[in-house]
Amino acid sequence: MKFSVLTLFPELVETYVQSSILGRALEREVFQFETIQIRNFAINDYGQVDDSLYGGGVGMLMMCEPVYQAWQRAAGEGKKSRTLVMQAGGRTFDQAMAEELAEEDHLILLSGHYEGIDARVLDEIEAEPVSVGDFVLTGGELPACLIIDATARLLEGVLLKEEAWQEESFSSGLLSERQYTRPEHWRDRQVPPVLLSGHDARIKRHRKHDSLWQTIQMRPDLLDEADLSYEEVYDFLQWLEDEKNK
């Protein structure tokens, strides 16, 4: 898979993607990555890529031609590509979308700046608006990094333990259970005894129900999509009662 990021600040994205787990996977050529500096396609020698808004308004807008030329450089004649533009009001990025994007051959991420990008070029390149949350940022570089991270880690060979991502928060539709490591006792707090029991079935039951309990407390909205049987709900309530009585 290949990620191409069109941006005015390539160093922001490069620093992130070339570090830690993603950086090691990149060195092993598990996926491909490039940044394309939109300013390299400026309309004049001053590096102009933006102009004032038609109809008035505060701020500047990124122009069509530099963005289009950068996109053409990314799209090239190679792999079939899919283009996303980081934009408020777009489809909300989530784990399900990350899994969907991980099936693509080539993902082009367009990072806007200033007041945004001329709508005509977005229509021309058929860019899909994507949002990472209901807030405003100074540019699209951070959302692009987030999308690359969440998507790339699903690719075979990125994580050290294959299929590890399938056991994480949101992959099952629920939040992850609470987790613990050494020491067993810390500041009068101890690890739940069941996790020390070595009893695989009991540990699995505890983790499953604690995952559901964390979701109920922090993200009850996720339960709308949870497919829980009557038996699972009954067993969870029994587990919860036992936990409260400890």
- Which residue matches tokens 């964390």? 214
State the 10-residue block means of pLDDT for the chain, 246 residues long: 97 98 96 98 94 91 97 87 94 96 98 92 97 93 98 93 56 85 94 95 95 94 91 96 91
Domain boundary residue among 85, 120, 152?
Answer: 152
Q: Which domain holds residue 37?
A: 2-152
Q: How many residues does the chain have?
A: 246
- Shared-domain flag, residues 203 and 122: no
Q: Is residue 157 part of a domain?
A: no
What count of Cα atoms within 13 Å lies in the side-chain half-sphere of residue 209? Answer: 20
Distance CA 72, CA 77 (A): 9
In terms of domains, do 86 and 39 share one? Answer: yes
Domains in the chain, number: 2
Q: What is the pLDDT of residue 160?
A: 76
DSSP states along 26-90: HHTTSSEEEEEEGGGG-SSTT---EEEPTT--SSEEE-HHHHHHHHHHHHTTSS-EEEEEEEEEE
Spatial CB neighbours of 99, under 8 Å, sequence gap ≥ 6: 154
Q: What is the CATH number of the domain that holds 28?
A: 3.40.1280.10
pLDDT at 163: 46
Instruction: List the one residue out of 92, 106, 103, 105 whose CA is nearest residue 146.
Output: 92
Q: pTM of whole model > 0.85?
A: yes
Q: Let me know whether 73 and 20 are in one domain.
A: yes
Q: What angle do CA 120, 129, 99 make, to 5 degrees?
A: 145
Residues 138 and 24 grouped into a single domain = yes
Asked if residue 222 and residue 181 are part of one domain, the reply reads yes
